[in-house]
Structure 1
Amino acid sequence: MTKLPRMPPRPLLREADTPIRSKPRRRRNPAQPQLPLDPMPSRIDPCLALLKPRPPKGPQWVFEVKWDGYRLAVHIETSRVRIVTRGGHDWTERFPAILAEARRLPVSTAILDGEAVVLDERGRSDFGMLQQSLGGRGGKRTSREAIFMAFDLLYFDGHDVTGTELSSRRHLLEGLIPQASEDAIRLSEEIEADGERLLRIACEQHLEGIIAKDRNSRYRSGRLGDWLKIKCIQSDGFAIVGYQRSSAAFGNIGALLLAARQGEELVYVGSVGTGFKADEAMKLRTMMDKIKAARPAVKYSGRRKNLIWIKPTLVAEVEYRAWTHDGKLRHASYKGLREMADNANLYEIA
């Protein structure tokens, strides 16, 4: 079994002029009142973070590192453990280390919300490494390197706790996961800091960004503003609608042509021509050549030559710095393919 990467202590806290510390944990009260049991749901649609340009201010907001991986829910049931993706797919067998650790947690029934990640040598989540460990997009490989960063608790010992405030849910979650754990299930620590300063440190250490959560909010499915994400570099999903053929580029892909969603239509938002690795580009080219289209899925008035149009069924994760005045991506870099069913939400133009 591959040894799990050792997580450096507090990757956000190094090289800071004043230490930033995780919120201290409180001990669980074993004399808590007995409540009627609630049926355990087979699935709960996740609470999603709303993108904001800067961190919120106010005492009700708490912060965490933003992890870059696959959103999962770990269902610990009386007779089994299930690991369910954001889209409702059962990926239990694909994360054997997480599965084994979930069985060891001191709880009879629970639903943990979190992110499966693979960490680099500095303790940062790396989506490319996670995809590689799973055999690439559409791959069927099991990942023994992936760990689960738990950040919420939705069901606990027979009780649905989604209606309680975040601070109470976190209090219960902290009692389940050992402090400073280096096992396959770890706690995504809350960090006590000013949001602006925390974001600055996160960006200096090349993390993706931070998450802000309303400590008084109950768990609500969807993107309703109880959770906010603030990124160092913008990163979103865009449909690949074609590519420019180039004999000088990896996989003969000079650039991918991208689209975002606007209402019920796809709108061309520019291209991305950097960030490809040789082996990934070859696989991507093979996939695209199987879904060629006779005409583009978007209105295109550019002057590029040697364009190959494809059906818009592949979703690329793309990092970018900003938007141009005419609605095109600036300084875009290809990051990888997202699973259509789970992490492939397209960027939506307002």
Structure 2
Amino acid sequence: MAKPPKSKPLLRDVDKPITSRPRKPRDPAQPNLLLDPMPARIEPCLALLKSKPPKGDDWVYEIKWDGYRLSVHVEPTSIRILTRGGHDWTHRFPAIQQAALWLPVGTAILDGEAVVLDEQGRPDFGLLQQSLGSRGGNKSSSDAVLFAFDLLYFDGHDLTRMDLSERRHVLEDLMEGFAGAIRLSEEIDADGDQLLASACEHGLEGIIAKRRSAPYRSGRTGDWIKVKCVQSDSFFVVGYEKSTAARGQIGSLLLAARKGDHLVYVGSVGTGFKERDALQLRNMMDKIARKTPALEYNGQRKAVVWLQPTLIAEIEYRAWTEDLKLRHPSYKGLREKQDNASVCEME
């Protein structure tokens, strides 16, 4: 039987310490490792509305924040805060801008939602609007805080091709121990149905479900799902019904949704207005009045003032009626043009 060959030691002189080869001087002609250029803007990933939370191990949940979607660009010499529509609102969120300057990072793009919290710590869209001076205003809000839920770019590297779980890992490391006007939107390890019930019980808007294994893809791809406690959507204000008894002489607002290239009437809303809201609304609506409706209208309302469909209102409602009208609607506020809010589309 042949003898096995003798094994050779990995190091010739086993008693000597292990050392690496001497480092050679760097060749100036050799290129540096390429970094990803920082994009001027990334179209946001949007959540698809569903009636129930998705199931499965690939889904993770967060609270749905009721505010304005923002991306915060931390650049070498400045901070930029962009709305969903790509408008620069840096000057309108000074506290968030200052907090971004303190982040321990050279360059980054954070995706999140700016909110103003009420006394119970819940996001309040009306309070956010007041702090910004309502629609068309140009006030800055020192009360708004950003709940960051994604990290798209980090120190020269594009993270959008990474899975959500990997992006969140880097985001959580970045936000560890950080407090102030930028906060981490926590992922919640829970059953989706139970979390939704708890969110509704605490007066929150709803929850967001996100696919752990998905990269960051712009638009409504289905990687993110939103489930609301109370439904809410954006609608065009196409007219208002006069009332001598109501504040601002507004009895109700007439609302419309999109249907292809046309507008369709979806009912009216007469609740949720505060005195300040009604007066501001009346001032804006007086400037866009028109003689005829901007849509087909077969209703019987009297003393209607028709409007150009330029104002977009955020409306809460419980359900749709059989004739496709809003059930129990309530006015939440006007959306800013720069927010690029998508108006409800009828199938």
- The equivalent residue for 2:171 is 173
Asked whether 1:102 is paired with 2:100, we answer yes
Q: TM-score w.r.t. structure 1 length?
A: 0.89
- The equivalent residue for 1:203 is 200
- The equivalent residue for 2:34 is 36
- The equivalent residue for 2:267 is 270
Distance apart, 1:35 and its partner CA? 6.5
Cα 1:128/1:343, change in 2 over 3 Å? farther
Matching of residues 277-316 of structure 1 within 5 Å: 277-316=274-313
- The equivalent residue for 1:236 is 233
Give the secondary-structure state (helix, strand or coil) at the position aligned to 1:97: helix
Paired letter, 2:199: A
- Residues of 2 paired with 1:216 and 1:311: CA distance? 44
Which of 40, 50, 53 is matched with 1:52 structurally? 50
Segments of 5+ residues of structure 2 without an aligned counterpart are 1-31
Matching of residues 1-350 of structure 1 within 5 Å: 36-179=34-177, 181-350=178-347
Paired letter, 1:341: Q
Q: Which runs of 4+ in 1 moved over 4 A?
A: none
Distance apart, 1:178 and its partner CA? 2.8
Give the secondary-structure state (helix, strand or coil) at the position aligned to 2:176: coil
- Cα RMSD over matched residues? 1.1
Distance apart, 1:341 and its partner CA? 2.9
Q: TM-score w.r.t. structure 2 length?
A: 0.90
Give the secondary-structure state (helix, strand or coil) at the position aligned to 1:279: helix
Cα 1:35/1:62, change in 2 over 3 Å? farther
Aligned length in residues: 316
Paired letter, 1:126: D
- Residues of 1 paired with 2:204 and 2:252: CA distance? 26
Q: Percent sequence identity over matched residues?
A: 66
Contact 1:70 1:343 in 2 (8 A): no
Paired letter, 1:261: R
- Residues of 2 paired with 1:215 and 1:349: CA distance? 31
- Residues of 2 paired with 1:249 and 1:66: CA distance? 33
- Residues of 1 paired with 2:310 and 2:199: CA distance? 33
- Residues of 2 paired with 1:262 and 1:35: CA distance? 51
Segments of 5+ residues of structure 1 without an aligned counterpart are 1-33
Instruction: Render the CA deviation track for 1:276-329: whole Å, top value 9, x for unaligned.
Output: 001110110110011001110111111111100000000000000000001100
Paired letter, 2:230: I
